[in-house]
Amino acid sequence: MKNNTYKYLMIAIFLAPALILFIGVLIAPIIMSVFYSFFDMKSISLKGAEFIFLGNYKELFTSGSINVWRALGNAMLLAALSVFLQLPLSLGLALMLGKGIKGERGFLSIYFMPVLISTVVIGQLWRKIYNPDYGILNAVLGLLGIGDKMPLGGWLGNEASALWCVFVPTLWQYVGYHMLLMYAGVRSVSPELREAAKLDGATDGQVDWYVVIPSIKPILKVSVIFAVTGSLKSFDLIYVLTKGGPYHATEVPSTLMISMLFERNRYGMGSTIAVLMISLCFAFAILISAAFKEREYGKKHVIKK
């Protein structure tokens, strides 16, 4: 009995630092956010704040000046792009590098480099790249003989082009991140397995498709979860490049939240958006995990046949 008490005491001690941090900084704020989201807070304290229950939620989805649908749509689009464009690109690079190519290390190092550069630096750099008067993008297009292709308003000023111009560096920066994760997976596929497949007459592509990709599924799942939740919470690059403009064309939930908090002084509404973001991230993480489970299950069936 005494031993047991000691054990649980030790467990408590070992868990204490992590639990305090975790509950204090993550869990408690979520509960507080939910609470705040029921109030119309004009200042930072609840003093004088009016309890409006779901009023913020209602306003959030119906107001004409809060473009929440647009923000959500943009985040979803970014998530879709990163799953269907960024990750395949990363996978492609990982598979190519995984074939044991000369200079493999060098390529690997170059591809991972953008991940290490501060996002703000990358944002400022791309602002200069897109500059309508002196930017390098126009210069490059000019060299290729397709100058004057810049949309009206400049790359970041045109409603139609701004979103894509913001997405490009966002996706570009983390290609290397996912590539390295996948590369690790590709490398850990046992050579005997490849060998066996090749002996069966499989081409390189077939080996990748039927042997390598299925065996790195756990890593793909992690990548997809990171890519999707990362897109839902993307902030830095968009904030540096456009702050959500022009005309809310590049608004995402996090930029919307910041403008609610610090431009419009609406802390209740800011919390409402925070709650929305958390719910979405959880929902997607669960969905993706479920989707991968389903597939694995399906695959097993096929093999059994």
Partner 1 sequence: MKLKKLAATLLAAAMVVSCAACGSGSGDSGNNGGNKDTGKKVESVDLKSQKVTLDMWCIATESDSNRKSYENAIAEMKQEYPDITLNWEAFENQSYKTKIKAAMAADEVPDIFFTWSCAFLGDFVDSGKVYCLDDAYQDYKSELPEVMLANSTYNGKHYGVPLTMNIVGLFCNMDLLKEAGWNEVPTTYDDLIKCCDALKAKGIIPFGCAGGETWCVTEYLEPVIEKSIGADAMNDIFLGRASWDNAEVAKAVDTFQSMVKAGYFDPNAVSLSNDEVKANFMQGKYAFYQNGTWNCADFANDANFFPKVKVTEFPVVDSSKGKLGQLIGGPSDTLAVTAKSANAAVAAKYTFELGKRICHYGYLDGCGLPAWTPYGDTSNINGLTKAVSEICANANAYVLFGDTAMNADDAQKYLDYVAQVYGCKVDGNAFISGLKKEIR
Partner 2 sequence: MAKNMSSKNNFNLDQYQVQKTNKVLKVLIYIGLVIWALIDLFPVYWMFTFSLKSNEEVYGTNVMGLPKDWLWSNYSTAMTTGNMPLYFLNSVIVTVSSIAICLVAAMMATYALTRIIWKGSKTMNAFFMLGITIPIHSSIVPIFITLSKLKMVNSYWAMIIPYSAFSLAMAILICTGFMNDIPKDLDEAAYIDGCTLWQTFIKIIVPLMKPALATISIYTFLQCWNELMFAQSFISQKKYRTLPVGIQALSGQHTTDWGPIGAALVIATFPTLLVYVFMSKSIQESFIAGAVKG
Residues from 86 through 125 that contact partner 2 (CB under 8 A):
92-93, 96-97, 99-101, 105, 107-122, 124-125
In the complex with partner 2, the residue whose CB is nearer, 64 or 174, is 174
Interacting positions 189-208 with partner 1 (CB under 8 A): none
- With CB under 8 A as the contact rule, the residue among 52, 285, 292, 296 that binds partner 2 is 285
- With CB under 8 A as the contact rule, the residue among 162, 224, 237, 280 that binds partner 1 is 162
Pick the closest to residue 166 from 229, 252, 106, 108 (CA basis). 252
Q: Decide if residue 213 touches partner 2 (CB under 8 A).
A: no
Spatial contact of 226 and 285, defined as CB atoms under 8 Å apart? no
Termini Cα distance of the chain: 54
Spatial contact of 64 and 248, defined as CB atoms under 8 Å apart? no
- With CB under 8 A as the contact rule, the residue among 259, 268, 270, 273 that binds partner 1 is 259
Pick the closest to residue 79 from 294, 287, 296, 273 (CA basis). 287
Pick the closest to residue 219 from 180, 170, 174, 175 (CA basis). 180
CA–CA separation, 188 and 182 (whole Å)? 10
Residue 269 Cβ vs partner 1, minimum distance, rounded to whole Å: 10
Q: Which does 193 bind (CB under 5 to 8 A by kind): partner 2, partner 1, none?
A: none
Place of tokens 């096929």: 302
Give the x-and-dash track for 37-76 against partner 2 (CB under 8 A): -------xx-------------------------------
Dihedral angle, C-alpha 68, 23, 292, 283, nearest 10 °: -30
- With CB under 8 A as the contact rule, the residue among 17, 64, 106, 205 that binds partner 1 is 64
Q: Which stretch binds partner 2 (CB under 8 A): 80-88, 146-154, 158-166, 217-225?
A: 217-225
Both tokens assigned to 255? 């930029």
Backbone phi, psi, residue 51, to 5°: -80, 115
CA–CA separation, 237 and 169 (whole Å)? 8
- With CB under 8 A as the contact rule, the residue among 123, 157, 169, 230 that binds partner 1 is 157
Q: Which does 162 bind (CB under 5 to 8 A by kind): partner 2, partner 1, none?
A: partner 1
Give the x-and-dash track for 130-169 against partner 2 (CB under 8 A): ---xx-x--xx-----------------------------
- With CB under 8 A as the contact rule, the residue among 183, 211, 227, 250 that binds partner 2 is 183
Residue 276 Cβ vs partner 1, minimum distance, rounded to whole Å: 20
User: Strand pairing partners for 40?
Assistant: 50
- For the chain, what is the radius of gyration of the CA atoms? 24
Q: 213: Cβ–Cβ under 8 A, 6 or more apart, which residues?
A: 91, 220
Contacts with partner 1, residue ranges (CB under 8 A): 42-44, 63-65, 130, 132-133, 150, 152-159, 162, 242, 245-247, 259, 261-267
